[in-house]
Amino acid sequence: MIALTVRVRADRADLVLAELLTLVPAGLEERAAGEQVEFVIYGSPSDLPSEADLRAAAGGTTLELERDELADDWSERWRHWHRPVDVYGPGRRVRVRPPWEPALAVMGIDLAIDPGQAFGTGGHHTTRLCLELLLEREPSGSLSDWGCGSGVLALAAARLGYTQVSAVDFDPAALEATRENARLNGISGVAVGRVDLIATPGPHADTVVANLVRPLLLEVAERLERAPGVLIVSGLLREEADEVSGAFARHGLAETARRHAAEWAAVVLERR
């Protein structure tokens, strides 16, 4: 197992992270390093992105790369990286945790998510923003999670009480992770399927959550055939939110809420 460390200036870190997330289906670790930020990608040599792909994703930003072979006890130390995430809404709470951490001891929604499958356990700002926005709404009708990753948002929606929940992704590893996490949590009835959102509109639902990245969200807006009643989009840097909101406005969706965390943004759009 290899740890590939990507170092970048702190003022460019969020831009680089947005692009790295499109290259690394298993997620990555972020940590401060003085005036730099380090992104650490774990995997076998064949699973890691190439140096050329990393530099292309950085778009001219200067990167420092370092490869380290992990010690034999890495599988145990890796667990300490993944901690429970607690998200609060009006009178409600969701805990997203790795399976080895204790379940929520008080009332709330408890989700065990295996970080070894795909896309981590919901700790990234963009996932938390989506959960916060979901918790602020009364569940009603159907919900579809476009770009489901490990299934955090779809499974939370099922527990919140949405009647029909679907989860789609292009990556087969993400689909298997979502199915496995549904089994792990005893959640049935979530329809999981493979959809290439660049080529095909996502399944229609009353509410859609799309935690993607700006280029893909713009492609989704271009191909949208039937607007949902509510669309929550995230995976955006703050300065990208206006452009993406405007792209969906052409489909009769008006922005009704926006939430920020660090350099990230999530937007709620509703059908006029």
In this model, does residue 252 exceed pLDDT 90? yes
Residue 112 lies in a domain: no
Residue 135 lies in a domain: yes
Residue 186 lies in a domain: yes
The answer on 199 and 134 residing in a single domain is yes
Whole-model pTM above 0.95?
no
- Determine contact, residues 194/175, Cβ cutoff 8 Å: yes
- Quick one: average pLDDT of 23-29? 69
In this model, does residue 144 exceed pLDDT 70? yes
pLDDT in the model for residue 260: 94
In this model, does residue 21 exceed pLDDT 80? no
The answer on 264 and 155 residing in a single domain is yes
Residue 6 lies in a domain: yes
Domain end point (choices 78, 101, 118) = 78
Q: 25 in the Ramachandran plot: left (φ > 0), alpha (ψ -120 to 50) or beta?
A: alpha
Highest averaged pLDDT of the listed ranges 23-27, 117-121, 126-130 = 126-130
pLDDT in the model for residue 119: 55
Report d(CA 92, CA 88) in Å as an integer. Answer: 6
The answer on 262 and 151 residing in a single domain is yes
The answer on 45 and 164 residing in a single domain is no
The answer on 256 and 190 residing in a single domain is yes
What percent of the chain lies above the pLDDT cut of 70? 91
Domain CATH number, residue 186: 3.40.50.150
Residue 107 lies in a domain: no
pLDDT in the model for residue 76: 55
pLDDT in the model for residue 16: 84
The answer on 229 and 168 residing in a single domain is yes
The string of pLDDT tens digits covering residues 103-115 is 887 789 999 998 7
Residue type, 6: V
Residue 223 lies in a domain: yes
How many CA within 13 A on the CB side of residue 226? 6
The answer on 181 and 59 residing in a single domain is no
pLDDT in the model for residue 189: 93
pLDDT band, very low/low/confident/very high, at 99 (cuts 50, 70, 90)? confident
Residue 211 lies in a domain: yes
Tally the domains of the chain.
Answer: 2
The string of pLDDT tens digits covering residues 44-98 is 777 788 888 888 877 778 888 888 876 655 555 556 556 788 899 988 999 999 8
DSSP codes of every residue in 7-25: EEEGGGHHHHHHHHHHH-T
The answer on 260 and 179 residing in a single domain is yes
- Quick one: average pLDDT of 137-157? 95
The string of pLDDT tens digits covering residues 157-201 is 999 999 999 999 988 888 999 999 999 999 999 999 999 999 999
CB neighbour class for 86 (10 Å; exposed up to 12, middle 13-18, buried from 19): middle
pLDDT in the model for residue 118: 46
pLDDT band, very low/low/confident/very high, at 245 (cuts 50, 70, 90)? very high
The answer on 172 and 47 residing in a single domain is no
The answer on 143 and 12 residing in a single domain is no
Domain that holds residue 193: 127-271
Residue 31 lies in a domain: yes
Report d(CA 271, CA 102) in Å as an integer. Answer: 40
Domain CATH number, residue 46: 3.30.70.600
Domain end point (choices 78, 97, 113) = 78
- Determine contact, residues 210/220, Cβ cutoff 8 Å: yes
The answer on 261 and 164 residing in a single domain is yes
The answer on 258 and 147 residing in a single domain is yes
